[in-house]
Amino acid sequence: MTEESKGMNPRTWNAIAVGMLLIAIALGVILYFYTGDLLNAFSAILLVFGLYIAATSFARKGGEDNFGPSASDAAMAAGGIVAGVGVTGFVYILSGEVLITAAVLIIIVAVIGIAMALKNRNV
């Protein structure tokens, strides 16, 4: 069985990802139109696209190999970090405090680490 026959074709994943990125950009443009704040728009784009990447990590091929995380694990971690940066952008906008923003980012990284440990508990 070839690698491409085990799941959705990579071109299909790429097409879906481009569609989600365009939706995220459109939402960012709408938010920028209403708030006039570019950081709001950028944070929204990162949050929406990061959530998409993390949410679809469970549907991706996730075979083990000896050279690092599976594609599923890498997508979950990357999506969580991207969405986390989007969240921290909103936290900074709301609080204006760098220390609170840094603390939220640390919490997000910790939650991603816990989620990865739970996801791979049987490996």
pLDDT tens readout for residues 34-64 = 988 899 999 999 999 999 988 887 776 655 5
The pLDDT value recorded for residue 59 is 75
Helices 98-119 and 71-95 pack at an angle, to 10 degrees, of 160
Instruction: Assess if residue 93 is contained within a domain.
Output: yes
The pLDDT value recorded for residue 9 is 75
Cα angle for residues 6, 120, 65 (degrees, 5° grid): 50
* Nearest-angstrom CA–CA distance, 48 and 20: 8
Instruction: Assess if residue 72 is contained within a domain.
Output: yes
Instruction: Assess if residue 88 is contained within a domain.
Output: yes
pLDDT bin (cut points 50, 70, 90) of residue 4 is: very low
Please tell me whether the overall predicted TM-score, pTM, comes out greater than 0.75 for this model. yes
Q: For a pLDDT cut of 70, what percent of the chain falls above it?
A: 85
**Which domain range does residue 113 map to?**
7-57+66-119
Q: For a pLDDT cut of 90, what percent of the chain falls above it?
A: 43
Cα angle for residues 121, 115, 88 (degrees, 5° grid): 165
Average of per-residue pLDDT values in the chain: 83
Amino acid at 68: G
Cα angle for residues 59, 62, 67 (degrees, 5° grid): 150
* Nearest-angstrom CA–CA distance, 18 and 33: 22
Cα angle for residues 85, 87, 8 (degrees, 5° grid): 70
Instruction: Assess if residue 1 is contained within a domain.
Output: no
The total domain count for the chain is 1
